[in-house]
Amino acid sequence: MKTLDQILAEHPFFAGLEPRYLALVAGCAKNLHFEAGEYLIREGESADQFFVIRHGKVAVEVHVPGRPPVTVQTVGEGEIVGASWLLPPYRWAYDAKAIDFVRATALDAKCLREKCEEDHDLGYDLMKRFLPVVVSRLHTTRMQLLDVYGSPR
């Protein structure tokens, strides 16, 4: 059976992370699984962990009153769910729901924030991994806002 260090080392998000940091991060990690339809994240709840997706697909949803929830993004194997744990007020702004059976590794946010405060090199390394994800999602959101496939006006 693989250790958490090994599992994280094999995940693209943590590719190349120094072994000493992998051990620190793994100290905040636990493996979880979700059945289809189960929620990983609920809007408004405390962002006290984030998820490294190892198998399956997760829908990022926004609840719209009077309408079914709108899926604005799907996240799959090799990707991560959740960046709100990085910044106050550490609160989720959306739901994340397993579309099919999902295996994930959950990282305890408080534990990880404390380790980043103690070792800024670790914090800087993690920021360099999160920022491209956040920027990429900002770009894709802009493209979605453009509604490029809508009827020409």
Q: Contact residues for another protein (CB under 8 A)?
A: 57, 59-60, 67-74, 76, 99-100, 140, 143-144, 146-152
Q: Is the peptide bond prior to 89 cis by the omega test (within 30 degrees of 0)?
A: yes
Largest CA distance in the chain: 58
Nearer to another protein, 14 or 25 (CB): 14
Closest approach of another protein to the CB of residue 77, in Å: 10
The C-alpha atoms of residue 102 and residue 144 are separated, in whole angstroms, by 26
Closest approach of another protein to the CB of residue 72, in Å: 6
Task: Say how far residue 48 (Cα) sits from the centre of its chain.
Answer: 12
Give one word for 85, left, alpha or beta, with left for phi > 0 and alpha for psi -120 to 50.
alpha
Nearer to another protein, 68 or 89 (CB): 68
Closest approach of another protein to the CB of residue 36, in Å: 9
Name the strand (E) or helix (H) holding 30.
Answer: strand 29-34
Nearer to another protein, 28 or 53 (CB): 53
Closest approach of another protein to the CB of residue 2, in Å: 24
